Amino acid sequence: MDILIMQPVNKRTELNKKCSKSSFSIGNYSVQNCSLDGNNLTVLTNNELFLNTPSQLLPIDETIRQLKPTVPVFCIRPKTIEATARYFLSKFPGNVLYAVKCNAEPSILKLLWSAGLRHFDCASISEIKLVRTLFPSATIHFMHPVKPKSVIFQAYFNNNVRDYALDSIEELHKIIKVTKNGDDLGLIVRIQVAENMTLHDLSRKFGANATDAVTILREARSIAKRLGICFHVGSQCLEPECYENALDIVKRIINEANVKIDVIDVGGGFPGTYPGCIPPPLGEFFQSIERGFRNLNLPKETTLQCEPGRAMVSEACSIIVQVLARRQDSIYINDGTYGNLCDAGPVVHNRYPVRLLRQNGLIRAEKNNLKAFRFYGPTCDSLDVMNGPFELPDDIEVDDYIEVGEIGAYSIALKSQFNGFGENIIAFVSDDPLKVVPSDENKNN
Ligand SMILES: *Cc1c(COP(=O)(O)O)cnc(C)c1O
């Protein structure tokens, strides 16, 4: 709750000097404390400031007026993060694990924690250490099915991680050996599910087929304190029934293996809302899961859990980028596919809602005179292009700002330093999310 602004490594020296003083200010932000965290210098403000009086969080227009940012500003809406977490925690019929890879910003993890989230899905030792350092009492689930031995050792003996995903007998033996026959292991077997209606299919990379899953479950049962089955339907799943179908496969595997199952983990895949890609409400996904889970007829004490990444954070964040050049229907901006906008690039080709903000921070809400633009990012690489289309007023000009919304998932997590770019400022803002407007949708149906 306390992190207000982060400055990148290049600004470290300057801010370090300021940090050695007890407090200083950036614009109107009064900064009381700061710390170094990986590549970022984290500047902390006084907690009480916004915890007790959230109205003092600045809106985006005011943020622009004060910062006049020349690097992308990653805007986090604390209220939205907390509301989404509370929605998942109250509506999902089981435990909710946040998939840390989707957005590992410590300030976001802290907001999730303060909303009551206690379980984290990690896949690497740095994710594990980050979560363990921030929240000593969190439950960490190591859900990567293929792990280095040294990392299993550190997870088990130094970071109190007890639950491990696996999708092969070799991995089972590895976990047993490294944990020295740990007698408190949760062993969660990842199974393959059919290729689904998702934008990012994950069925090929991981997951045991039904025959192998049965073998692994039978062998793992003798050592596991908790034995489970997990799957991932693929990211940005648009079809609630995918989960019920996957749980049908789970049912067949359980019947065949004929061993007691303690945990069913339905993975992530819950969708965000993007222009041209408006999914059914999350509640329909939860209902599909509930039906599929009930149909397994497992004992009452069986744990059901999910691992949302995207749906937890996508709506709560936006970035403010600046226009560097305009040529016909192309706008050159200071962020791109090697920065926060990887998924807008030629590989994933995601679209995001946008709006124009003038240099003085004035928000242009008008819907007339809109023109479809493509964006080019700041690097010299030809893959640094985002075809959108992004609809903005035709009189947009150099030095104007553009807010890109729905950008919380797989954005800042993928940012690189390629070509010397990658600086970010992180700001907490008071605005409501920049939503996909219905007109974006109509044009793409
Ligand atoms: C990436 C990932 C998730 C999160 O997926 P989303 O589609 O972002 O919800 C959950 N579980 C595992 C094992 C993952 O690899």
Least confident of 97-101, 115-119, 202-206, 335-339: 202-206
Q: Are residues 380 and 353 in the same domain?
A: yes
Q: Give 134 Cα–ligand 1 centroid separation in angstroms.
A: 21
* Token pair listed for 84: 């989404």
Q: Where residue 201 sits, what CATH number does that domain have?
A: 3.20.20.10
Q: Are residues 28 and 40 in the same domain?
A: yes
Q: Give 190 Cα–ligand 1 centroid separation in angstroms.
A: 13
Q: Give 191 Cα–ligand 1 centroid separation in angstroms.
A: 14
Residue 30 in 3-state DSSP? strand
Q: Where residue 398 sits, what CATH number does that domain have?
A: 2.40.37.10
Q: Are residues 340 and 397 in the same domain?
A: yes
Which atom of ligand 1 lies nearest, measured to the CA of 202? 15
Question: Quick check: is 109 in a domain?
Answer: yes
Answer yes or no: is the C-beta of 143 below 6 A from any ligand 1 atom.
Answer: yes
Enclosing domain of residue 335: 58-77+316-442
Residue 360 confidence class, pLDDT cut points 50, 70, 90: confident
Question: Quick check: is 134 in a domain?
Answer: yes
Looking at the structure of the chain, the number of domains it has is 3
Which atom of ligand 1 lies nearest, measured to the CA of 102? 8
Question: Quick check: is 5 in a domain?
Answer: no
Answer yes or no: is the C-beta of 307 below 6 A from any ligand 1 atom.
Answer: yes
Question: Distance between CA atoms of 345 and 100, rounded to whole angstroms?
Answer: 22
* Token pair listed for 18: 């300021």
Q: Give 123 Cα–ligand 1 centroid separation in angstroms.
A: 10
Q: Are residues 93 and 30 in the same domain?
A: no
Q: Are residues 329 and 285 in the same domain?
A: no
Q: What angle do CA 6, 273, 269 make, to 5 degrees?
A: 85
Q: Whose CA is nearest to atom 10 of ligand 1?
A: 268
Q: Are residues 238 and 328 in the same domain?
A: no
Q: Are residues 246 and 333 in the same domain?
A: no
By C-alpha distance, which of 418, 281, 286, 249 is closest to 345? Answer: 418
Residue 380 bears catalytic tag: yes
Which atom of ligand 1 lies nearest, measured to the CA of 143? 13
Q: pLDDT tens digit string along 250-298? A: 999 999 999 999 999 999 999 999 999 999 999 999 999 999 999 999 9
Q: Are residues 346 and 395 in the same domain?
A: yes
The strand ranges marked E within 192-350 are 198-200, 226-230, 235-237, 263-265, 303-306, 317-327, 330-333
Q: pLDDT tens digit string along 181-239? A: 999 999 999 999 976 656 666 667 899 999 999 999 999 999 999 999 999 999 999 99
Q: pLDDT tens digit string along 396-433? A: 999 999 999 999 999 999 999 999 999 888 888 999 99
pLDDT average, residue stretch 41-52: 33
Q: Are residues 186 and 223 in the same domain?
A: yes
The strand ranges marked E within 145-284 are 163-166, 186-190, 198-200, 226-230, 235-237, 263-265
Residue 2 confidence class, pLDDT cut points 50, 70, 90: very low
Instruction: Identify the active-site residue in 34, 75, 242, 380.
Output: 380
Q: pLDDT tens digit string along 140-188? A: 999 999 999 999 999 999 999 999 999 999 999 999 999 999 999 999 9
Q: Whose CA is nearest to atom 13 of ligand 1?
A: 143
Which atom of ligand 1 lies nearest, measured to the CA of 190? 13
By C-alpha distance, which of 247, 170, 181 is closest to 215? Answer: 170
Q: Are residues 104 and 227 in the same domain?
A: yes
Q: Are residues 144 and 265 in the same domain?
A: yes
Question: Quick check: is 307 in a domain?
Answer: yes
